[in-house]
Chain A
Amino acid sequence: MSSPRIAVTGYGAVSGFGYGVEPLWRGLAAGRSAIRPLSRFDSTRYRTHLASEVPGAPAADRLGRLSLADRFALAAAREALAHAGLPERLDGPGAPLTGLYFGGSTGGMLESEGIFAALLAAPGGALRARDLGHLAAQPTSGPADAVARALAVGGPVQTISSACASATLAFGNALDALRTGEVDLALVGGSDSFCRLTFAGFNSLRAIDGVPCRPFRAEREGMTIGEGAAVLVLEPEERARRRGAAPRGYLVGAGAACDAHHMTAPDPRGGGILRAVRAALADAKIDADAIDFVNAHGTGTPHNDAAEASMLRELFGGRVAELPVTSSKGALGHLLGSAGAIEAIATLLCLQHGLVHPTPGDGAPDPALRLDLVVGEARSLPSARYGLSTNLAFGGANAAIVLERAG
């Protein structure tokens, strides 16, 4: 029995460009950067001070228990449902069995840090009763749970926390669940907000650039952290068409593999991400030659970009010199656990518009990488059919997805 074709019928995003997919695409297509001085918390004592911060924050809930990451996730999920022509709640008679597949790295860590700081300062370290509910409401699964609760999701809910590959891995699980009919509809996404732990942690590794990140540039020195959320609605194409929803694109393949090389450094030859991409291509039943452009992980760290470029050269051979490569992180920063979700939307938007968005960042592309990096202006690619999106993570986790243009 052949498995159904899985369509993307809606999406929503929260990013440094603001709330919604429209400002996201305007910013990406224009080659703007959303990287600015960090204001979410006082960064005076940190080694670096830049980030891609979401402007403003959604209103807090009545009990004040939703973290910022929860609220980003809810905003993105509601936009995605509306975009897909679905109601605000997914329960009731005839409702599709919906699964929620989320990637995330820190959940409500930002809020937990505030409570932990108060705990450290309090005599005897006693927890105040008021804080208990807040702290208990901030597990890593918090954003997924908050979305599932608000939207009345009745099917599987899972949070994948495999660092920066989390959301991309979530696509693989959702794709398999949709193909086998385990769920009728899937919401896939991720959400992360800034927190001191990751900002200090990546600075301690000297992995953050002092200027806005410069993916694949010769002078690159590290990443810039971003925050935000993205949610996509996936369903079998036949089901989408039955309810009159137009596919915005297709998720045709997903793959994953582990480096087993080092806890933080990628395999310098990109062996793990190469296996992940090959698995995604095999899953999509297409050859590497069919890929029209790549939305790379492209963090701007010297090691990641070199490993990824090595993988691309190995995979595409001589064609790599003219295969457009972009990195959304040049504009949005690194959204960590949710990076794969917003980059999937960016990839779909590129396919829809027949344009590959440029990669902001100072300096010339690193000639040693031998990539055709899209810089300056968006590259017109009206016949593009397949886009590849990749993510690499701490612990050697690698994941890739292949997206196809609708129509």
Chain B
Amino acid sequence: MSEVVVTGLGVVGPFGLGREALAQGLAIGEPRTVEVEHGGRNRPVAALLAARLTANLTALLPPGAARRMSPPARFAVAATRLALADAGLASGSDTAECGIVTGTAWGPPWVTEQLLSQILLKGPDAASPALFTESVANASAAQMALAIQARGPTQTITQRESSDLIALAEGARLIRNGRCERVLVGVVDEIVPILHSLLDRLRALARPHADRPERARPFDARRDGFLLAEGASVLVLESLRAARARGATVLCRVHAAVAAFDPSAPAHDWGSGGIALATTLRHGLESREVATSEIDRIISGASGSRRGDRLEAAVLSALWNGRELPPVVAPKGTSGEYGGGFLAAAILALAGSPIAAPAGFEKIDPELGVRPHAGPLPRPKRALVSALSAGGTAAWAVLGEP
């Protein structure tokens, strides 16, 4: 089986374009947010902010091409171009046999909303064929493939907050099993007011209080929700052999991936099956010959969700049998939830970028007993990355130093 490495990373997100922009943001630990404009509809909302993409994509995506794409497809194609440049690869000649695996929690909600509005308000004859074409969840993957003429296997994973790590796992599997030498793994999501409103009304989002600003506070006793984010991250995965043959710079290795399900989870929240999840994770790591003693960093998917972070802490505590955890970083406090920032943060951490404790952390939750690490850390040798979903899905990856 081929060893799998990451050789390129493209990021389009709230901090701007390129992985350096995200790296700088993560090093500071201060999220980049704007107030969501609801235009008088779907109000009132308690949460006001979201981490939105404000950068101009024109340099990466000509307006003529962008017009034919949904917003997430634009993000994904722009991030693809950045990823290929980062990996030193040319579109076309280096990507003809490339596979593409994307992950998205929400698909293209703006397009879906527009299309439904046409159908429901004006009648089915008003449905736009152009919008319908872009309404499928795999539209971003398809636009990526068209943009770089990639003809390898393609698939899109839609498994909520775990979509990113499942996409990474399936991308790595295509290489390990010899189905591809090179795969682009993309994670993409967009924010629309109705999604912001829905998550707010479900009390999923962090909200402002009289004594503290609106912030996601992973593992904090006073956490009250996550920060909604949008954007795209695209990773270039290759077999180690192929990467070495072309002299590519390796950002990190993909050692293992494990996934599980928590049947105790309701459809729209996290469950309480931490011990069962940890048992499946432990067996999965053992079968892939990864010992927890080798893991020197936890890149946690804790987002500031009340129940999600509680489940995350329970899984980690059970996995380490109550022993002291390796240093934990929680980049979603800065990057937000969705839009690829988390997976990109994990790759950056392995590549040596510092991840500061999120600015919102103030008070440890004694029930959880996890404190995001503050201060400098050495570059990790082997990190456990986690992504637990509302609804029950759980996914983890073990990434290693180059």
Residues of A participating in the B interface, judged by any CB pair closer than 8 Å: 45-47, 65, 91, 97, 99-100, 104-105, 113, 116-117, 119-120, 124-127, 129, 132-133, 135-137, 139-142, 144-146, 148-163, 169, 172-173, 176, 180-182, 196-197, 199-205, 255-264, 271-272, 275-276, 279, 393-397
Contact = CB atoms under 8 A, between A and B. Distances in A.
B154 A258 contact: yes
B90 to A, nearest CB: 15
B119 A200 contact: yes
A396 B143 CA distance: 10
Contacts of A159: 157-159
- Tell me which of A65, A113, A136, A172 has the highest count of chain B C-beta atoms within 10 A of its own C-beta: A136
A197 B119 contact: yes
Contacts of B133: 205, 263-264, 394
B119 A176 contact: no
B8 interface: no
B115 A157 contact: no
A196 B263 contact: no
A49 B41 CA distance: 34
Interface stretch (B123-131, B230-238, B361-369): B123-131
Contacts of B153: 169, 172, 255-258, 276, 279
Interface string B146-159: 10111111111111
B179 interface: yes
B267 A127 contact: no
Nearest to B268: A136
Given A125-B43, A149-B392, A154-B263, 13 more contacts: A97-B283, A120-B117, A124-B43, A141-B159, A141-B393, A154-B280, A156-B259, A160-B157, A173-B170, A196-B124, A258-B142, A261-B146, A279-B153
Contacts of A127: 42, 197-198, 201
Contacts of A259: 145, 151
A200 B127 contact: yes
Contacts of B107: 140, 161
Q: Determine chain B's interface SS by DSSP, over half rule.
A: mixed
A340 B220 CA distance: 45
B359 to A, nearest CB: 29
Contacts of B123: 45
A256 B158 contact: no
B287 interface: yes
Contacts of B179: 279
Contact of A396 (B145, B177, B265, B267): B145
B182 interface: no
A140 B389 CA distance: 14
Nearest to B123: A45
B156 A129 contact: no
B140 to A, nearest CB: 9
Contacts of B136: 105, 161, 163, 394-395
A260 B149 contact: yes
7 contacts: A117-B120, A126-B43, A136-B198, A202-B132, A258-B150, A258-B152, A260-B149
Closest 6 A/B residue pairs (Cβ): A395-B142, A201-B132, A156-B259, A256-B153, A136-B268, A137-B267
Interface string B83-117: 00000000000000000100001110000110111
A142 B159 CA distance: 9
B392 A395 contact: no
B100 to A, nearest CB: 7
Interface in B259-313: 259-261, 263, 265, 267-268, 276, 280, 283-284, 287
B317 interface: no
B77 interface: no
B346 interface: no
Contact of A395 (B115, B154, B284): B154
B261 A395 contact: no
B40 interface: yes
A398 B179 CA distance: 15
Contacts of B259: 99, 155-158
A162 B156 contact: yes
Nearest to B115: A197
A141 B391 contact: yes
A154 B138 contact: no
B124 A199 contact: yes
B158 A205 contact: no
Contact of A145 (B115, B121, B157, B391): B391
Contacts of A393: 138
Given A196-B119, A197-B135, A201-B127, A156 B261 contact: yes
Contacts of B166: 156, 158
A160 B143 CA distance: 17
B280 A47 contact: no
B227 interface: no
Contacts of A120: 117, 120-121
Contacts of A146: 267
B43 A157 contact: no
A201 B159 contact: no
A395 B263 contact: no
Given A161-B107, A260-B150, A260-B151, A197 B159 contact: no
A132 B202 contact: yes
A47 B124 CA distance: 8
A157 B393 contact: yes
B173 interface: yes
A139 B198 CA distance: 13
Contacts of A396: 142, 145-146, 154
B143 to A, nearest CB: 8
A126 B41 CA distance: 7
B133 to A, nearest CB: 5
Contacts of A142: 267
B320 to A, nearest CB: 20
